[in-house]
């Protein structure tokens, strides 16, 4: 049976940190942001907010503030993801919105990577982010330099999924 396009995107998508200088269209940028808006959130609270950064000098500034995402300077644009920290589940909601954006981008041939290491106070002050918004991270997007043919490095299913109780093995075939 043919795999659905969603399955295909989930299975092939890799995080990529080097980008070509090719411009991403405004329509694609909006479609990626809209994919975030479509994410579910606890009690449908929709508390996330997204800041699009797409000026070359701003991407460089983001890289300078970052500790583990200096590669963002080479991206075409970035999205900073904010959540309302008063909701206990706010970071779970951030993860759903971020995943939507990254999968939407991949399905359009646009690669991305997330960064969660940065000088938070510097980022907050530069982007004028008010309390109680937490900064969940930022994602850099762009076209790849070359065709990405990678293999995911993941633990086997049997190691991460159990059947019925923790530690009970899951079988590949139904008995
Ligand atoms: C919560 C989270 C935080 C991450 N933070 C960073 C980061 O700060 N910098 C970075 O370069 N990659 C970061 N990554 C990317 C991971 O290194 C990457 O998802 C992982 O190596 C799997 O990559 P793959 O899907 O290409 O196999 C982060 C990923 C997650 C899910």
Residue-wise pLDDT for 134-166, tens only, equals 999 999 999 999 888 778 999 999 999 999 999
Cα torsion angle, 91, 96, 102, 105, sign:
negative
Q: Which residues are 133's β-sheet partners?
A: 84
pLDDT in tens, 96-107: 999 999 999 999
Sort 152 into a burial class: Cβ within 10 Å, 0-12 / 13-18 / 19+. exposed
Q: Which residues are 161's β-sheet partners?
A: none
Place 88 in a pLDDT band, splitting at 50, 70 and 90.
very high
Asked whether 152 lines ligand 1 (CB < 6 A), one says yes
pLDDT of residue 3: 67
Q: Which of 98, 115, 150, 153 to mutate to test the pocket of ligand 1 (most atoms within 8 A of CB)?
A: 115
pLDDT of residue 175: 64
Within 10 angstroms of residue 27's Cβ, the number of other Cβ atoms is: 9
Q: What is the pTM of this model?
A: 0.96
Ligand 1: atom nearest CA of 153 is: 27
Place 172 in a pLDDT band, splitting at 50, 70 and 90.
confident
Asked whether 4 lines ligand 1 (CB < 6 A), one says no
CA of 54 to the centre of ligand 1 (A): 21
Asked whether 153 lines ligand 1 (CB < 6 A), one says yes
Ligand 1: atom nearest CA of 154 is: 27
pLDDT in tens, 55-70: 999 999 999 999 999 9
CA of 117 to the centre of ligand 1 (A): 11
Topology of the domain comprising 24-146: NADH Oxidase (3.40.109)
Domain ranges of the chain: 24-146
């Amino acid at each position: 049976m043919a795999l659905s396009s969603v399955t295909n995107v989930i299975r092939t998508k890799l995080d990529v940190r080097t980008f070509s200088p090719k411009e991403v269209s405004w329509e694609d940028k909006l479609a990626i942001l809209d994919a975030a808006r479509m994410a579910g959130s606890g009690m449908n609270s929709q508390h996330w907010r997204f800041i699009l950064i797409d000026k070359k000098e701003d991407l460089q500034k983001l890289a300078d503030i970052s500790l583990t995402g200096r590669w963002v300077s080479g991206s075409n644009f970035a999205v900073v993801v904010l959540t309302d920290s008063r909701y206990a589940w706010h970071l779970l909601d951030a993860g759903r919105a971020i995943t939507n954006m990254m999968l939407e981008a991949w399905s359009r041939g646009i690669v991305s990577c997330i960064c969660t290491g940065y000088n938070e106070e510097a980022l907050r002050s530069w982007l004028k982010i008010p309390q109680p918004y937490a900064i969940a991270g930022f994602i850099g997007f762009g076209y790849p330099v070359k065709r990405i043919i990678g293999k995911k490095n993941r633990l086997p299913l049997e190691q991460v999924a159990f059947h019925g109780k923790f530690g009970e093995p899951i079988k590949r075939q139904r008995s």
